Structure 1
Amino acid sequence: MFTVALLGASGLLGRAISNELTARTGWRVVRTAHRRVAEGSVALDMRDAAAIDAFIDHAAPDAIVIAAAERRPDVCEHDPAFARALNVDAVNTVAAAARRCGTWVLSISTDYVFDGTQPPYRCDDPPAPLNAYGRSKLDGERALLETTGLGCVLRLPLLFGPIVDWQESAVTSLVPAIAASAAHGAKPAIMDAWATRYPTFTPDVAVVVRQMLERHASGDAICGIAQWSGAEPMTKFDIATRLAQALRLDARLAPQHTPADATPRPRDCHLDSSRLEALGIGRRMPFDEAIRQVLDAFPWHL
């Protein structure tokens, strides 16, 4: 029995990975969560090193996927110590425990390790994060790769997928403002048209993770750094326009062509996915089809 420990199974990405892996015949998936501990999951605080050690020793997994993280840039900027506890220290603890057990580890990282000035970015391009979130994730990458030789970092861009509330993704978090702008007499919703993002569907990422795990299970583990990204470039204004179309809302949207976020963000961190593509790994569902699935599965009456 091939056993996978999925850390952070209750989040946006973790749920998609859990659904994909549990459908795989012959695999045992041990899921952990901190706040939303569903039936069949193990409660685990990723800031508790002793608890992590005990969990890994007990589960004895063949592979570990770290989907738990603090991924909100503004939160990281205002509380960098909290961000580092999840994004750096916890990764280091998991990597050390995995090394003792000879377990392969996959840790999720971000396109924000780059400054966004020279896209597309290959796996070996020098990182230069602009904010505390990017710096914490880069330090987490280094913690993993310096602690174990049997580990892989998977960098991902902006994620969207099946949600439990609008705010789970920076894509669906736009919906309330879009809906409000469609009301009679409402002011236009101002949407960023400066930064280019590459929305990436979490069920697609889950397929990538499953395929990477299958390679490890067959004795051909991928180590080092890998990247995966959606292929459709969009600004938030573009995303909001397509959301309004999907929701059939006559929204009033106004583009903002200069940076407006208090926390600095890169302009274009397009990730080159060629390493995984060359291995036959990957799946990309068109954005409009994917977002329709998300909206159809979530009651959007506001």
Structure 2
Amino acid sequence: MDLLITGAGGLLGGRLAQHLAERHRVTLLTHLSDPGLELESRPCDLRAGGDRLEVLLDEMAPEVVIHCAAESRPAVFAEDPHSARLLNVDAPVRIAAWCRRRDRRLIHFSSDTVYPGEGPARHEGGPTGPENAYGHSKLESERGVLKHLPHATVMRMSLLYGKPLARGNSFSGWLLERAAAGGPVPVFRDNLRRMLAVSQVCDVVEALLENPHQGIMNLGGGELLSREQFARRLFQHLGLDQGLLDVRSQREVHLAVPLPRDLEMNLECLQAWWGHPLPSVSDGLIREYPLS
């Protein structure tokens, strides 16, 4: 199958490209970073005007576009919200419009931050209520994508952990960098997510190519953990000193961009479609950080 992956210089796009290239023809759209893969790659700033994006899509003619590129840095949303919107909203909508015109498929990655940070486990048809600019941009992108391409797959993904290929980072990578520097490693006890390994996302996308899902689907791991609980599991797995962890409540810290307290998602749709048990954090850590 001919695939096009955006954002291959980041954690998710790079790992997906590496994984899917074993069985498919993969082409990359990149902007700032080379993922270091021996795959065809085209430079493209998805924030730029003009028709370069559409011209490249016509030239490469993928059967499926896997859109991973996104802006998540709070500083960019604060200092240049227009640039963040171009990447997070306008670009996926343009890609969806192209897919509609060419009758192609799109897998678009959104975020669990489109949900409110309290209440029972959020399901795909329930209320949304993003609490920061990133979440608002992701919700707007979902609506634009599905307006143009109702059969697109939109994955509301939780926080990722795992090893990047290039400059992309993950929560686990950040924890390990702080630990390697001697700490302290600040972590919150009151920020809950269905964190998942990037290798799990690769498995899900591989299955999506063979068994498409239309519309929105929550994507998370098998356990609901706080950042503190995940950090302890990671440090225990790697034999690191848990005394480096500086455990805090969000109420004790002034955050420029507040984090939703509890983003538990209902994953029944994912489980029914996938047909496999959701991997535990221990399973994910073994795959991402093998000890032998």
TM-score, length-normalised on structure 2? 0.88
Of 13, 32, 35, 1:35 maps to 32
Give, in angstroms, the shift of residue 5 of structure 1: 1.3
Give, in angstroms, the shift of residue 240 of structure 1: 2.2
> Any conservation in 2 of the 1:33–1:43 contact (CA below 8 Å)?
yes
Determine helix, strand or coil for the equivalent of 2:130. Answer: coil
> Any conservation in 2 of the 1:178–1:244 contact (CA below 8 Å)?
no
Determine helix, strand or coil for the equivalent of 1:271. Answer: coil
Distance 1:67 1:135, change over 3 A: same
Distance 1:239 1:263, change over 3 A: same
CA offsets 1:108-165 (integer angstroms, 9 cap, x no match): 0000001211131101111111110001111111110112233121110001122257
Residue 215 (structure 2) pairs with residue 224 (structure 1)? yes
Give, in angstroms, the shift of residue 293 of structure 1: 4.3
**5+ residue gaps in structure 1?**
183-187, 216-220, 298-302
Distance between the aligned counterparts of 1:75 and 1:281, measured in 2? 39
- Could you tell me which amino acid in structure 1 is paired with residue 138 of structure 2? K
Give, in angstroms, the shift of residue 272 of structure 1: 1.9
Distance 1:6 1:165, change over 3 A: closer
Determine helix, strand or coil for the equivalent of 1:279. Answer: helix
Distance between the aligned counterparts of 2:121 and 2:75, measured in 1? 25
1:69 match: 70
Distance between the aligned counterparts of 2:191 and 2:86, measured in 1? 29
Distance 1:143 1:239, change over 3 A: same
Q: Once the two structures are aligned, what percentage of the paired residues are identical?
A: 31
Distance between the aligned counterparts of 1:92 and 1:30, measured in 2? 20
TM-score, length-normalised on structure 1? 0.85
Determine helix, strand or coil for the equivalent of 2:29. Answer: strand
Give, in angstroms, the shift of residue 289 of structure 1: 4.1
Residue 115 (structure 2) pairs with residue 101 (structure 1)? no
Of 261, 266, 287, 2:260 maps to 266
Give, in angstroms, the shift of residue 181 of structure 1: 4.8
1:239 match: 230
> Any conservation in 1 of the 2:8–2:68 contact (CA below 8 Å)?
yes
- Could you tell me which amino acid in structure 1 is paired with residue 100 of structure 2? R
Residue 263 (structure 2) pairs with residue 250 (structure 1)? no
Distance 1:295 1:68, change over 3 A: same
Determine helix, strand or coil for the equivalent of 2:106. Answer: strand
Distance 1:200 1:73, change over 3 A: farther
- Could you tell me which amino acid in structure 1 is paired with residue 66 of structure 2? V
Give, in angstroms, the shift of residue 254 of structure 1: 3.4
Determine helix, strand or coil for the equivalent of 2:265. Answer: coil
- Could you tell me which amino acid in structure 1 is paired with residue 15 of structure 2? A
Structure 1 stretches of 4+ with a deviation exceeding 6 A read none
**5+ residue gaps in structure 2?**
none
1:173 match: 174
RMSD across aligned positions (CA): 2.3
> Any conservation in 1 of the 2:153–2:217 contact (CA below 8 Å)?
yes
1:4 match: 3
> Any conservation in 2 of the 1:276–1:282 contact (CA below 8 Å)?
no
Residue correspondence of structure 1 range 108-127 to structure 2 within 5 A: 108-127=109-128
Distance between the aligned counterparts of 2:116 and 2:268, measured in 1? 20
Distance between the aligned counterparts of 2:124 and 2:276, measured in 1? 16
